[in-house]
Amino acid sequence: MTLLTLQFANDKGSILPAGDISDIIPDEEADVAVLEEPEHLTWYHHGKRWKSKFRLVVGVIHTNYLEYVKREKNGWFQAFFLKYVNTWVVSIYCHKVIRLSAATQDYPGSIVCNVHGVNPKFLDTGKKKYEQLQSGNQLFAKGAYYIGKMVWSKGYKELLKLLQDHRKELAGLEVDLYGSGQDSDEVKEAAKKLEVMVRVHPGCDHADPLFHDYNVFLNPSTTDVVCTATAEALAMGKIVVCANHPSNEFFKQFPNCRTYNNGKGFVEATRKALAETPAPLTDAQRHELSWEAATERFLRAAELDQALERKIENIPSKNFASASKNLQKNIEDASACLHYVVSGFETTRRAFGAIPGTLQPDEEQCRELGWAAPVGIGSSRRSPMKARG
């Protein structure tokens, strides 16, 4: 377990590393590295190349950056540029790339596999609901809800539009929205104008008992890669109504997942879901949502045994395939060298959006890592966010 120092970039809504974390990992322990969100961990990385440091580097793609960027000003141009930057840095630093769903950017040689699971408390809630069903108790006294960070891009715009466009077909429907975020005030105002009853509440832990009695989880978002809240709702035994989208492909295997292709389909799926009792999850289905199953999927997808084989990659050979492979490696090495040089100047880093002063760790970070502070580094910089990874 190593300490990774991070800072939050407001303009990107992401955390970015400060300094080179690989420096504190002894070479003799550098076997396998898993980069969660390898794009923004490597955009501004300036240090030893991860693929040279470790025998196997697995990048796990979590976020549909291109979809978010397209919604900004000059979004299509930014998305075009970002697509190639992401492909460039991920290929330089990762041997293997796992995408949580096909909703992410495609990468050469990548595989799609959901390697995430849900907290056991959600599965426990679902199991208790099933036990209550067997006892003849009423399970779900509430109707429909949605929970998520309250920004328009997280599905709120799509949901409110669907509710307004189909207000006659959905007459009598009541929906509760839970979330906090930069667009909270706008969402509240928009909800007040609807002819459908929509109540907006502050954000709350999805495991809170107040959610236990809801019957239907509505999620029209198409910016998620694999929506955690959807997985949690299924684990708690609810019916989920979501868009027929690559981000929801994993959930289609569960009987309580209902997908739709258009507004008419949304109305039909929602009305049907509200009129039904969710089907109890089997033990196999519960396991599929767990972190244990997610870990099993990760081990298969990452092919960790391949790391040992990388020791013999450099055995000389005169055949054409080897020559072609060496040429590809030389091109990749030159590309990595270019990235190292470009990321080493504060001017170019800032030009491409890096947080000022993150080329090296600051005084506080050095003190926590047990390093000597670099010359010229003072304590005037803002304090970093810290996470363990």
Tens digits of pLDDT across the chain (389 residues): 344 556 666 666 667 777 777 777 888 888 899 999 898 888 888 888 888 889 899 999 998 888 878 877 788 888 888 899 899 999 999 999 999 999 999 999 999 999 999 999 999 999 998 888 777 666 677 899 999 999 998 999 999 999 999 999 999 999 999 999 999 999 999 999 998 999 999 999 999 999 999 999 999 998 889 999 999 999 999 999 999 999 999 999 999 999 999 999 999 999 999 999 899 999 999 999 999 999 999 999 998 766 556 553 444 555 655 566 676 777 877 888 888 888 878 888 887 777 777 777 667 666 766 666 655 544 434 333 333 33
Q: Phi/psi at 237 (nearest 5 deg)? A: 90, 20
Q: Rounded to an integer, what distance in angstroms lies between the CA atom of residue 356 and that of residue 116?
A: 33
Q: Are 151 and 224 in contact (CB under 8 A)?
A: no
- Which residues are CB-neighbours of 23 under 8 A, at least 6 positions away? 47, 48
Task: Quote the pLDDT of residue 354.
Answer: 76
Amino acid identity of 54?
F
Q: Residue 372 gets which letter from DSSP?
A: P
- Which residues are CB-neighbours of 115 under 8 A, at least 6 positions away? 60, 98, 100, 294, 295, 297, 298, 301
In the 3-class helix/strand/coil scheme, how is 191-244 assigned residue by residue?
A: HHCCCCEEEEECCCCCCCHHHCCEEEEEECCCCCCCCHHHHHHHHCCCEEEEEC
Estimate the share of the chain in helix, then strand, then coil, as percent rounded to the nearest 5.
Answer: 45, 15, 40
Task: Quote the pLDDT of residue 113.
Answer: 96
* Strand, coil or helix: 5: strand
User: At CA 331, angle to CA 330 and CA 336, rounded to 5?
Assistant: 95
Q: Residue 384 gets which letter from DSSP?
A: P
Q: Rounded to an integer, what distance in angstroms lies between the CA atom of residue 301 and that of residue 205?
A: 31
Task: Quote the pLDDT of residue 323.
Answer: 60
Nearest to 236 by CA among 121, 116, 117: 121
